[in-house]
Structure 1
């Protein structure tokens, strides 16, 4: 029997079982309320091995089959078969979790947790963002066709929520369920009133040095803090600042990103950036260190012992690459290697800034680039050491209205 026939047979049986009501959720990534399509990384799982003959395959044969499936599919949409195999039953899922490597090594966005992992080294993952002005929403897609931005794999969604003193961008794994009370909520971006300073919050700690930030939606009940709606806490992972530039008197925008969760050493050849391997359960009761909510002092001190809490010099700093003035075109220019086609104040490239003798020295390697290619379509390319979630949040800050920077 060929590998293709095995996959088709497995899918047929898998579909018939799911229609009988044996529905579950894929535990490798974030638990989702919707089972829309396999490409959205939401799959139906049958954990009862008696319901599927494929669950009773010998482990050695099963591992060999799954390895061949994983190696034969390097790009989406065929990559959906890897997710389908992981959703057959518990034994298939555990083996596939061991076979599929993290994003840094494989360079492939397979499961939802890949969106929280650093991108590959020396290779930009090409994505694009579509903006809907009417609904104030932004959708991030993975490029599947280099010649067109109409064909893409959905990755993340964000919704703009304007408040009196600040603006929130809620980021979710589900385009139809973008709210802080959703199980698909993975983080947010918050701006100040002027739109010059932003903070990126992760719904779960990216490393042992993360600091939890009290949310407006949480409350204290007796001596214990509970949050029935927010899946997890708010952990500050990055700070973005735009230099004041009234009426554009200082030229193009100047921005700087302080990555709280990524050390400067990560950009070195043997450097390591924090890598999340799974989503935490969306319940505060399941946190092993729930005691850090007891008091104000213990809440803040519990996360100060991490590797990035000693000095700001240890945190990675990203700065926008300075554009050059083109005399013939009479405009500021950056080399996006054909990925950006429309001039816009929002376009930028971020590079690492390394302290050198008291002064910051910019590296040439572009870590994140963002630019306009249509009325409401923008490219977003990123690589190690930042993740798709962090890159998306940084790009969202460019959309926000900046009273003192235009």
Structure 2
């Protein structure tokens, strides 16, 4: 009797999920016919979620769905069962489909789905901006497309093992300029325009390819910065900071040591994560975790530029408002990562690192990042030896990327993109 009841419950859940998929596909065809051209609307075969407050024709049809009137108690039970049973892609799309039904389904699903730090799973696009799990890394791979200068990040062990279960997370397009190189990062692999809702940030290098800056499309998830931005919006609503590009917030800087004569061995790199404090890797420390894509500050006058590659400064129109934030950031040391030094193998006559089977091809691009801390910062030896990010080659134009807390998928992907740029002065 119990087995028949559980079988009946599974059949009901499958029928609900099947109808949700049909509803999602129907909304995708409607969104393509809408005249507003909103690229954040739900498309066929892609896990997009329409933003709250949108006025597209598809959102009207969602609210009229019969599933919008399910009692909250039953709705919580349904979403809990779907979320608990679907632990990997592409089945994870069912969880996203539940959040696409209407506002009530969306709110409950967002409450039940935990962050990658807590569950080790990626569900919504905002998960790519949240820190990874603490216990085990999230394993991904990058596919490089040389002719068009595109790099795609997929969720999975490798293309051979993942097959159709791999999920496209992020994509980047390389754009060469006269004095620098930009890697534009997007949620989709076809559109990299900054005016599109799928743009999430970029990586910019200097002329020699020895220094890089990671820009985010939204402000750092820091309560002090957000409260200061709100205060300035009330006091100076019309003032504008000149010469600052809108939607670019510097969150990290990378530097490669010069090695013109090639006497220092493999590449040496250092990453300063200005948006993550060093206390995040301490015991009971926490890293900033955004909960939604939102631009809390006004893009016209609230940015976090970097001065000479050292400490970030807040670019405000009023010096009196900037002083409190500068004092806060000066007392909060940023997280600094450095590449783990390889050892020289006498028999193989090459530099080696233990990638635990995740890297199979020798390459100058291979690296592992660990925490670089001073004795006064009270970071344990175990935390300093833990690999936060590792990147390496496994085939022609195929690379693995494994990241963990406190880095996010977006930050880890941007760091790995720096390895693809030409560095004649570093190797």
Scaled to the shorter chain, the TM-score interval is 0.7 to 0.9
Aligned match of 2:219: 205
Distance between the aligned counterparts of 1:199 and 1:142, measured in 2?
A: 25
How many Å apart are 1:363 and its aligned residue?
Answer: 1.3
Q: Is contact 1:308-1:314 (8 Å) kept? A: no
Alpha-carbon separation, structure 2, partners of 1:374 and 1:342 = 7
Aligned to 1:75: 88
Report if aligned partners of 1:210, 1:303 keep a CA contact under 8 Å in 2: no
Instruction: Pick closer, same or farther for the CA change 1:62–1:123 going to 2, 3 Å.
Output: same
Give TM-score, length-normalised by structure 1: 0.84
1:216-269 C-alpha deviation (Å, 9 max, x unpaired): xxxxxx954799xx8x52111111000011142110110000010001110123
Q: Aligned residue for 1:94? A: 107
Residue aligning to 1:217: none
Q: Decide whether the 8 Å contact of 1:200 with 1:236 is kept in 2.
A: yes
Alignment of 1:29-178 (within 5 A): 32=40, 35-38=43-46, 40-41=47-48, 46-48=59-61, 51-143=64-156, 148=161, 150-151=163-164, 152-178=166-192
For 2:155, what is the secondary structure of its paired residue? strand
Alignment partner of 1:385 is 2:406: yes
Give 2:360's aligned residue.
341
Matched, 1:322 2:332: no
Contact 2:28 2:43 in 1 (8 A): no
| Deviation (angstroms), 1:181 | 2.9
Which residue, 9, 15, 19 being the options, matches 1:9?
A: 19
User: Displacement, 1:195?
Assistant: 0.6
1:21 Cα deviation after fit: 6.2
C-alpha displacement at 1:49, in angstroms? 5.8
Are 1:374 and 2:382 matched, yes or no?
A: no
Deviation, 1:356, is 1.0
Query: Aligned in 2, Cα 1:342/1:20: closer, same or farther, shift over 3 Å?
Result: closer
Distance change (3 Å), C-alpha of 1:396 and 1:111:
same
The match for 2:351 is 332
Tell me how far 1:51 sits from its aligned partner. 2.4
- The one-character-per-residue Cα deviations of 1:25-69 (angstroms, maximum 9, x if unpaired) are xxxxx963672423x445796455662111111111111111111
- Tell me, which stretches of 5 or more residues in structure 2 are unaligned? 1-7, 51-55, 229-237, 304-313
Q: CA deviation at 1:103?
A: 1.4
2: CA distance, partners of 1:226 / 1:4 = 55
What secondary structure, in the 3-state scheme, does the structure 1 residue paired with 2:154 have?
strand
Q: Is the 8 A contact 1:174 1:184 kept in 2?
A: yes
* Counterpart contact for 1:46–1:87, Cα < 8 Å: no
Distance, in Å, in 2 between the alignment partners of 1:173 and 1:337 is: 30
Q: How does 1:249-268 map to 2 (within 5 A)?
A: 249-268=263-282
Partner of 2:220, secondary structure, is coil
CA contact (8 A) 2:62 2:101 kept: no
TM-score with structure 2 setting the length: 0.80
CA contact (8 A) 2:271 2:337 kept: yes
Q: What is the CA RMSD across the aligned residues, in angstroms?
A: 3.3
Q: Which residue of 2 aligns with 1:185?
A: 199
C-alpha deviations, 1:179-202, integer Å up to 9, x for none?
A: 223221111111111111111011
CA contact (8 A) 2:241 2:315 kept: no
Per the alignment, residue 307 of structure 2 pairs with none
Cα distance in 1 between the residues matched to 2:92 and 2:281: 29
Distance 1:76 1:332 in 2: 36
| Residue 396 (structure 1) shift | 0.5
Pick closer, same or farther for the CA change 1:257–1:184 going to 2, 3 Å: same
Deviations 1:108-163 (A, max 9, x none): 11000000000010211000111111111111000066852554200001111111
CA shift in 2, pair 1:349/1:312, >3 Å: farther
- Measured in 2, the distance between the counterparts of 1:105 and 1:270 equals 14
In the aligned structure 1, how far is the partner of 2:378 from the partner of 2:59? 57
Bigger helix fraction: 2
Q: Is the 8 A contact 2:340 2:369 kept in 1?
A: yes
Contact 2:27 2:42 in 1 (8 A): no
